């Protein structure tokens, strides 16, 4: 790779290089399926189920960002949605595909970075992010927002679960991420900061995730925010 800056994207790639290799990290993370990671469970997020039960979400075309082993993508498919699910990790996607086959859920899985994901304007009714955003480096929030703004239909909905500052995640400034060349395992967000990031969207629902004791039909841990936003017409 030539270390020459000729464009904004060159700056983005340079800043990417200051942080960990995400594909390598997540492949390693998902190798051992038996380790006690809470979201390795094969059940959907409790907030996602509630959105459908309350009519806040309805079946449509869905993009899941950072789908991991596929538990939420499968739930969308089981509820009549046409689902595209993207993840950087080949290891995670292999697990997700196995689960989808077992449950006869039709999902189009995409291996790659969401920053490079090409999409036509206004493609999706719903974009879902369960635990991806708090791993997005500060400079890539720009790419993240550009993607969801472009990919959502007018009136489309974006849902997120994200580390709650004070409960989980690093509480450091954006600049400090690059001074330390580390996101310390993920950034914690206050309610105010998260709503500021998504200020161009209407807020339909915002709360802490419920603490769901396992075994159960849904997943929930109390250190995550859950938010449901709507793109303006």
Residue 1 has pLDDT above 60, yes or no: no
Q: What is the pLDDT of residue 230?
A: 98
Domain boundaries, the chain: 22-30+41-231
Q: What is the pLDDT of residue 52?
A: 98
Residue 9 has pLDDT above 60, yes or no: yes
Residues 19 and 183: beta-carbon distance below 8 Å = yes
Distances (CA, A) of 8 to 3, 88, 120, 179: 13, 22, 22, 20
Residue 188 has pLDDT above 60, yes or no: yes
Residue the block writes with tokens 């991420």: 177
Residue ranges of alpha helices (H) inside 87-214 are 90-102, 141-151, 174-180, 191-197
Residues 183 and 135: beta-carbon distance below 8 Å = yes
Q: Which CATH architecture has domain 22-30+41-231?
A: 3-Layer(aba) Sandwich (3.40)
> 64: closest CA among 142, 124, 3?
124
Q: What is the pLDDT of residue 61?
A: 98
Strands (E), the chain: 61-65, 82-87, 107-111, 124-130, 152-163, 201-208, 224-231
pLDDT digits (tens, 9 = 90+) for 25-81: 999 999 999 998 999 999 999 999 999 999 999 999 999 999 999 999 999 999 999
pLDDT digits (tens, 9 = 90+) for 101-157: 999 999 999 999 999 999 999 999 999 999 999 999 999 999 999 999 999 999 999
Residue the block writes with tokens 């969207």: 201
Residues 140 and 175: beta-carbon distance below 8 Å = no
pLDDT digits (tens, 9 = 90+) for 209-222: 999 999 999 999 99
Residue the block writes with tokens 């603490």: 211
pTM (2 decimals)? 0.96
């Amino acid at each position: 790779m030539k270390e020459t800056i000729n464009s904004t994207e060159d700056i983005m790639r340079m800043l990417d290089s200051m942080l960990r290799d995400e594909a390598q990290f997540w492949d390693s993370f998902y190798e051992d399926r038996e380790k006690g990671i809470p979201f390795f469970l094969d059940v959907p997020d409790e907030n996602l189920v509630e959105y459908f039960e309350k009519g806040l979400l309805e079946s449509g075309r869905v993009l899941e960002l950072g789908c991991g082993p596929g538990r939420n993508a499968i739930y969308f498919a089981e509820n009549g949605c046409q689902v595209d699910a993207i993840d950087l990790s080949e290891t995670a996607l292999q697990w997700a595909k196995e689960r989808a086959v077992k449950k006869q859920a039709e999902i189009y899985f995409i291996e790659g970075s969401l920053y490079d994901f090409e999409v036509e304007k206004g493609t999706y009714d719903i974009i879902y992010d369960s635990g991806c955003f708090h791993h997005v480096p500060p400079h890539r929030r720009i790419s993240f927002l550009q993607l969801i703004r472009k990919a959502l239909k007018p009136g489309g909905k974006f849902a997120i679960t994200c580390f709650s500052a004070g409960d989980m995640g690093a509480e450091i400034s954006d600049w400090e991420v690059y001074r330390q060349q580390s996101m310390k395992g993920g950034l914690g967000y206050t309610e105010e900061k998260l709503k500021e990031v998504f200020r161009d969207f209407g807020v339909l629902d915002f709360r802490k995730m419920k603490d769901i004791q396992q075994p159960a039909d849904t997943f929930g841990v109390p250190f995550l925010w859950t938010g449901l936003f709507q793109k303006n017409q």
